[in-house]
Amino acid sequence: MRWPFPKPSHQCLRFLVVLSLFAGLLLPGGAAAQNRKKDAVYLKSGDVVIGKIDNYDSLAGVVISNDCGIWNYRINEVDRIQKYSDDRKSKLKPRGYYNISSVALLLGEGADGFIPYPSITTVNGYQWNQQIFAGIGLGYEFYEWSNLPLFAEVKFMLEPDVVTPFFSFKTGYSFPLSKNKEMDWYGNGGKTFGGVLLSPEAGIKISLSGKSALLLGIGYHYQELSYEEPVYGWMQNYEKKVFVHYNRISLRIGFMFQ
C-alpha cells in the first residue's frame, strides 16, 4: 500500500530527531524530576527551607540540600519538618471545559530560504481527567498565502503536577483565505487550495493557578497546500495544479484556561 504523504526529507528527519531529544528531557530524569517529593524544614526564625533531607539526628542536626546548596541546622533551630505540598497541585481541575490559546513560529527551509511562518490557534475542548484533553481548534497561519486551519487535538499529560510533561497530536485541514496566489507583476495568479495538516508535539504544562497554566512545546508540523499555475503554450493555454508540502518545526507558547 502506498504511503499517502511524501517521503520525509532530510530536513523533516532532523526535525524528528530534535523532537525526540526534547521528549527525552520530559521523561523521568528530565523535567519530570522536578515533580519528586520534597521536604520542608520550618525554622523558629520563620524561614522555610525546601529540599531533600540528607540527615536528621540529635547530634548532627538537620542537613537539607536543594539547588542552592547544602544547609545544616541545629535541632533547637527547627520548629517542625514535613513533606512539602504546593497548593497549585491540590487545586488542579479534575475535569471540565478548557481553552488553549497559543502562538508559534513554524521554522524551516523553503524555496525562498529560511523564513519562519506565524501560527495562531485556539482550542476549545473537554478535560476528561487530569491527563486526557480533547478539543476542536482553529487558527491563522501564513505560508505563501493566508490559511485557516481547522483541526482536532488530543493532549496526554503525564503524572499531573505543578510542572507536567505532555504529548499532543493534532490533525485537520487548512482552508485558504486568499482566493488566488500572486505569480506575476500584475498580481495575477492561479486559484489556491487547502490541504491536510498533521502536527505531533511534546512540551511542559506549568500550572499558574488552579484554573490557568502556561504551555511550552516543540513539535513537527506538516502542511499540504496546492495552487493552479497558468501555462502558456503555442496552441493553447491551460492550468496545472502544483502541490506544496511544508515540513516545519514548531516552537509554541500558549495559555490554558479552565
> Kind of pairing, strands 61-66 and 78-83?
unpaired
What is the signed CA dihedral for 104, 105, 110, 115, rounded to 10 degrees? Answer: 140
What is the rounded distance in angstroms from the CA atom of residue 66 to the CA atom of residue 38? 9
pTM of the model: 0.65
**Which residues share a beta bridge with 170?**
153, 199
For residue 145, what is its C-alpha cell?
498565502
CA angle (49, 52, 54) in 5-degree steps? 110
Instruction: Let me know whether 14 and 79 are in one domain.
Output: no
78 and 148 share one domain: no
**Cβ–Cβ < 8 Å for 180, 142:** no
Q: What are the beta bridge partners of residue 256?
A: 100, 213
pLDDT digit string (tens) for 101-120? 999 999 987 656 677 889 99
**Residue-level pLDDT at 187:** 54
Q: Identify the domain containing residue 57 by its residue range.
A: 38-83
pLDDT tens digits along 213-254: 999 999 999 999 988 877 666 666 667 788 888 999 999 999
Whether 60 and 15 share a structural domain = no
HSE of 121, CA atoms in CB hemisphere, 13 A? 28
Does 106 lie in the same domain as 66? Answer: no
Q: Looking at the predicted structure, is the pLDDT value of residue 35 above 60?
A: no
The answer to whether residue 5 is domain-embedded is no
Place of cell 513533606: 83
CATH, residue 162? 2.40.160.20
| Domain count for the chain | 2
In the predicted model, what is the mean pLDDT of the chain?
Answer: 79
In a domain, 48, yes or no: yes
Q: Are residues 133 and 77 in the same domain?
A: no
95 lies in the same domain as 54:
no
pLDDT digits (tens, 9 = 90+) for 46-86: 788 888 888 787 777 888 888 788 888 888 888 887 776 65
Provide, rounded to the nearest whole percent, the portion of the chain with pLDDT above 90.
33
Per-residue pLDDT of 135-175, as tens digits, reads: 999 999 988 888 999 999 999 998 777 888 999 999 999 99
